[in-house]
Structure 1
Amino acid sequence: MTATLVAKNVAGGFAHRTLFEALDLTVAPGDVVGVVGANGAGKSTLLRILAGDLEPLEGSVSVAPADAFVGWLPQEHERIPGETVADYIARRTGCAAATRSMEEAAEALANPGVTQDDPSDIYAAALDHWLATGAADLDERLPAVLADLGFDPDAVPPYSTPMTALSGGQAARVGLAALLLSRFDIVLLDEPTNDLDLDGLTRLERFVRDLRGGVVLVSHDREFLARSVTHVLELDLAQNTTTVFGGGYDSYLEEREVARRHRREQYEEFAEKKADLVARARVQREWSSHGVRNAIRKAPDNDKIRRRAATESSEKQAQKVRQMESRIARLEEVEEPRKEWTLQFTIGAAPRSSAVVATLDNAVVRQGDFVLGPVSLQVNAGERIGITGSNGAGKSTLLRLLLGRRPPDEGRASLGANVAIGEIDQARSEFTGPGRLLDRFEERVPTWPTADVRTLLAKFGLRADHVERAVDDLSPGERTRAGMALLQARGTNVLVLDEPTNHLDLPAIEQLEQALDRYEGALLLVTHDRRMVRNVRVDRSWRVHGGRVVEE
């Protein structure tokens, strides 16, 4: 089924704060709309509104036809304890909910009188929806898709592996499988590229490109946006505007830059003209005042003559002042563009470590059926190493081994002297749990006064309402920025970044790249962000594949 989604005059946010308003958007079959904006601009909120999960503060959202199947895949892979891979996919594709609705309709059909509506009509609608979701043959389609994504078909049936037992990369591949198995008419995707390897990104791009229905997606992966979107919707929090740009992502960047320059030039031209008129009006007033005093001083000592001279001079100058003020009033007001909040990020430096940072000598790690090694590597002070590999290849295991977090089952691993490690890991584990963000941060910088901690976090966009919140209640992007703030607060000479661009907005990613360019310590960088791979300078490249580490 082809379907169209229309949002008219939509405002979104919360009772205490409106994030965006007056948003108009039409998503027709074949449209791929990329939603961009700073963290906190309301991108995920917009997707929830379009999905019908959240009511807009104003406006309306409609789909045509009315029974179109709108699928929304949230940003994080919610892992429910006890839920298996198969259960997770059934839930994410909407098949589980459609099956429940059909079973309830069948129950009503078997027990007439429970509802006032015609149970046969309810059952027919539920059956149609169940078939439309692909629930009828999901179990038959599931094995081939999972096998194609690298899951062992002999190890998984009946796909009883708990989702909580999977790594971030494996969970991302299961999420991709759910997307590939879905039968949505309109697809809403929130950060679908997170944790996907290059193969997964290629499959995702092909899926989005081949869809006949419309797509609205939120992503901070610049290369994915450039390859996939046909339109860009910008939520500009600073200017409080929503703008749809035709064309792809690179075209949007050019148009946005031109539009911003024009807005600044228009304001500067208006401000200069207004300042000139105001100055001239002030001069006219001064002349008027001086003219009256001069007329009185030079006139003969006659009250009547003095009054006439003062009146004539005053009226003449006052008329000029009124004319100038009228010209000022007729000026078309141009609002000054608001300055956008930008993250200013630096990486704190620690004294230099020993010449050799870390060494692996025939190290082997065994995790169930997975074996990494034997690996023999050496990381030297100041070396910059990029690490790539498919999901589940063992990149994160290699990092834990190098950093002494996981002892080898065979061989030897050693860490150098005076090594000060700064890390943003894939799970953002520095900032998880029920405690307040402020408390968690102070535990990691115990010598810092509370006021200084608050000031630093505010520079990363984490203000009073954030620091008082439980860490688990923060968004993934907010937790990542807290991790970046910690890197700035604590000195490091060995920086370890595992998928650092996940959940970061585009300005923050660019700031991170600039900070990495200035950083002088050792760097271990794991990323599937293709533009970051090109933009960040590295001395060596390691590829993890088949339990081995190959230098490229």
Structure 2
Amino acid sequence: MTATLVTQGLAGGYGHRTLFDSLDLTVAPGDVLGVVGANGAGKSTLLRLLAGRDAPQAGAVTLSPPDAFVGWLPQEHERVVGETVAEYVARRTGCAEATRAMDAAAAALGDPSLLAGSGVDPADAYSSALDRWLASGAADLEERLPVVLAELGLDLGGARPEQALMTSLSGGQAARVGLAALLLSRFDIVLLDEPTNDLDLDGLERLEAVVRGLRGGVVVISHDREFLARCVTRVLELDLAQGTNRVFGGGYDAYLEEREVARRHQREKYDEFAEKKADLVSRARNQREWSSQGVRNAMRKAPDNDKIRRKASSESSEKQAQKVRQMESRIARLEEVEEPRKEWQLQLTIGSAPRSGSVVSTLSSAVFRQGSFALGPVSLQVNAGERIGITGPNGAGKSTLLRALLGHQLPDEGTASLGASVHIGEIDQARALLAGSHPLATAFEALVPDMASGEVRTLLAKFGLKADHVNRPVDELSPGERTRAGLALLQARGVNLLVLDEPTNHLDLPAIEQLEQALESYDGTLVLVTHDRRMLATVRTDRRWHVEAGQVSEL
């Protein structure tokens, strides 16, 4: 079924706060709409409204036809305990919900009293539920699932999808199962929230092929610039700083160019208005001063009986006052141009420590085992000042390699050593350095004991973490907020070995660009693991390692 989604005057937010309003949008078959904006601009809120999960503050969302099958695939930071791979896929594809609805309709067909008072005919309810169940693909999902998982190269260790628990999978494996759910879905309109998180390069290419191949409309939130450039046909920008929203035609790169031109023109328009208004205000002020001075001079110099001179002076003062009124009228008639508000920016610098020894880390014929997986034997040396980029598929051993280089995991064979005077700054995939039930401020202060409490709160505020964040338990923060806290820690501590494992996960686009700028000016040793293709192209590296099947090769 082809379907179209339309919003009219849509407003969304939470509590008494409105994040966006007056949003008019049409998503037709074949559209791929990318939604961009800073964290907190309302991107995920918008998807919830489009999915019908929340009620808008104003406006409406309509579907044509009204029974179109809309699939909402939100970010899921925590996996459901006890949920199997098959149950996860059934839930994400809408098959589980469609099955429950059909079972309930079938029960009502056998016992009409279950629908008593509803005004719904049990036969009509069952027919509608059956149509939705068939449209969802639930009828043959069990047969299609193993085929798709095999195509994605997902090894469940011999367990069937009905047995394997989602909590037993690595982040990369879970991301592949999420991709499988998208491949298996039969939605008329798809709403995707950060679908690229935790996918490796192969997974990203598969996702791009799926999104480009969908016949229905797609609305996608993503921080992956290359994914956006390859997939989206239009871009919706939710501008929190300006309180505006705008749809840009063309792809992502065209949006960047058009946005830059629009912002420059808006700034130029405001500067022209401000300059003209300041000139008129200055001239009006001078006219008032001249008029006042003229009256005082006339009163002082003119004799009491010199009526002619007094009259002439009065007329001159009236003319000056008239000029003032004309100038004020011109000011009032100026078309007001609102000053563009400055966006909040992540002003990141990376604290530096004294230079380490010439050799930062060494692995010699080292083997590291993790369950049935083994990395190595590997022999590597990281020298001071080197900038190393690491790539490889999920499950290849990249995170194991980082633990080995940092001395977090001892080798089962061979040797590993960390150099002298090495001060490590690290952001791992799990953002585990800041975790637990303590408030963020307390946890942060424990890691930087030399900083006063006020200094800690000021620093966190610069990273967009204010009073309502610093007093919350760390585990209750979003992954994006924990990532920003980790970046703040890098600024507070002096480091000469910086290790970043998928640092762009959960960061918004402005923060990613700020991080890239900070890395450009950082002069210590850098080890960067990322699947963000634009970051790999932007950040300067002088060595590139590729990890696959437990082996490390230099490119």
TM tier, smaller: over 0.9
- Aligned partner of 2:185 in structure 1 is 182
Contact 1:143 1:153 in 2 (8 A): no
Contact 1:296 1:309 in 2 (8 A): no
Contact 2:85 2:161 in 1 (8 A): no
- Aligned partner of 2:420 in structure 1 is 417
Q: Following TM superposition, where does structure 1 have runs of at least 4 consecutive aligned residues deviating by more than 4 angstroms?
A: 303-307
Contact 1:168 1:427 in 2 (8 A): no
Partner deviation per Cα, 1:138-185 (whole Å, 9 max, x = no partner) = 111111111111123771324422111211111111111111111111
- Aligned partner of 2:18 in structure 1 is 18
Residue 347 of structure 1 aligns to a residue whose secondary structure is coil
- Per the TM alignment, residue 300 of structure 1 is displaced from its structure 2 partner at its CA by 2.8
Which of the numbers 235, 240, 243 marks the counterpart of 1:237?
240
Which deviates the most, 257-266 or 155-164? 155-164
Distance 2:157 2:365 in 1: 31
Residue 333 of structure 1 aligns to a residue whose secondary structure is coil
Residue 114 of structure 1 aligns to a residue whose secondary structure is helix
- Aligned partner of 2:277 in structure 1 is 274
Contact 1:424 1:496 in 2 (8 A): yes
- Aligned partner of 1:336 in structure 2 is 339
Matched residue type, 1:246: G
- Per the TM alignment, residue 77 of structure 1 is displaced from its structure 2 partner at its CA by 4.7
Residue 389 of structure 2 aligns to a residue whose secondary structure is strand
Which of the numbers 514, 517, 526 marks the counterpart of 1:514?
517
Contact 2:69 2:188 in 1 (8 A): yes
Which of the numbers 362, 374, 378 marks the counterpart of 1:371?
374
- Aligned partner of 1:114 in structure 2 is 114
- Per the TM alignment, residue 302 of structure 1 is displaced from its structure 2 partner at its CA by 1.8
Which deviates the most, 96-105 or 210-219? 96-105
Distance 2:379 2:45 in 1: 47
- 1:123 aligns to 2:126 (yes or no): yes
Which deviates the most, 237-246 or 96-105? 96-105
- 1:349 aligns to 2:352 (yes or no): yes
Distance 1:156 1:383 in 2: 43
Which deviates the most, 302-311 or 526-535? 302-311
- Per the TM alignment, residue 203 of structure 1 is displaced from its structure 2 partner at its CA by 0.6
Contact 1:147 1:153 in 2 (8 A): no
- 1:209 aligns to 2:217 (yes or no): no
Matched residue type, 2:43: K
- Aligned partner of 1:65 in structure 2 is 65
Distance 1:158 1:331 in 2: 68
- Per the TM alignment, residue 369 of structure 1 is displaced from its structure 2 partner at its CA by 2.7
- Aligned partner of 1:220 in structure 2 is 223
Distance 1:315 1:154 in 2: 95
Matched residue type, 1:16: H
- Aligned partner of 2:103 in structure 1 is 103
Which of the numbers 394, 399, 404 marks the counterpart of 1:401?
404
CA RMSD of aligned residues (A): 1.5
Distance 1:264 1:464 in 2: 32
- Per the TM alignment, residue 411 of structure 1 is displaced from its structure 2 partner at its CA by 2.0
Identity of aligned residues (%): 75
Unaligned runs of 5+ in 1: none
Residue 12 of structure 2 aligns to a residue whose secondary structure is strand
- 1:139 aligns to 2:146 (yes or no): no
Contact 1:47 1:188 in 2 (8 A): yes
Distance 1:323 1:343 in 2: 47
Contact 1:169 1:392 in 2 (8 A): yes
- Aligned partner of 2:79 in structure 1 is 79
Matched residue type, 1:492: V
- Aligned partner of 1:481 in structure 2 is 484
- Per the TM alignment, residue 494 of structure 1 is displaced from its structure 2 partner at its CA by 0.9
- 1:156 aligns to 2:159 (yes or no): yes
Distance 1:164 1:500 in 2: 23
Contact 1:77 1:175 in 2 (8 A): no
Give the TM-score of the pair, scaled to structure 1: 0.97
- Aligned partner of 2:7 in structure 1 is 7
Partner deviation per Cα, 1:506-550 (whole Å, 9 max, x = no partner) = 111111111111111111110011111111111211111121111
Distance 1:28 1:261 in 2: 31
Contact 2:36 2:236 in 1 (8 A): yes
Matched residue type, 2:95: C
- Per the TM alignment, residue 436 of structure 1 is displaced from its structure 2 partner at its CA by 1.4
Residue 242 of structure 1 aligns to a residue whose secondary structure is strand
Residue 29 of structure 2 aligns to a residue whose secondary structure is coil
- Per the TM alignment, residue 249 of structure 1 is displaced from its structure 2 partner at its CA by 0.6
Distance 1:38 1:66 in 2: 32
- 1:39 aligns to 2:47 (yes or no): no
Contact 2:34 2:220 in 1 (8 A): yes
Partner deviation per Cα, 1:300-322 (whole Å, 9 max, x = no partner) = 34275565344323322111111
Distance 1:106 1:240 in 2: 49
- Aligned partner of 1:450 in structure 2 is 453
Partner deviation per Cα, 1:476-502 (whole Å, 9 max, x = no partner) = 211111110010001111111011111
Contact 1:281 1:325 in 2 (8 A): yes
Distance 2:498 2:437 in 1: 27
Matched residue type, 1:83: E
Matched residue type, 2:68: A
- 1:322 aligns to 2:325 (yes or no): yes
Distance 2:7 2:468 in 1: 30
Contact 1:146 1:153 in 2 (8 A): no
- Per the TM alignment, residue 271 of structure 1 is displaced from its structure 2 partner at its CA by 0.8
Which of the numbers 150, 154, 176 marks the counterpart of 1:173?
176
Distance 1:159 1:413 in 2: 41
Residue 536 of structure 2 aligns to a residue whose secondary structure is helix
Which deviates the most, 407-416 or 541-550? 407-416
**Equivalent residue pairs, number:** 552
Unaligned runs of 5+ in 2: none
Which deviates the most, 314-323 or 237-246? 314-323
- Aligned partner of 1:91 in structure 2 is 91
Which of the numbers 500, 503, 510 marks the counterpart of 2:506?
503
- 1:300 aligns to 2:277 (yes or no): no
- Aligned partner of 2:48 in structure 1 is 48
Distance 2:443 2:169 in 1: 27
Residue 190 of structure 2 aligns to a residue whose secondary structure is strand
Which of the numbers 431, 437, 441 marks the counterpart of 2:440?
437
- Per the TM alignment, residue 344 of structure 1 is displaced from its structure 2 partner at its CA by 0.8
1:482–1:248: structure 2 CA closer, same or farther, 3 Å change rule?
A: same
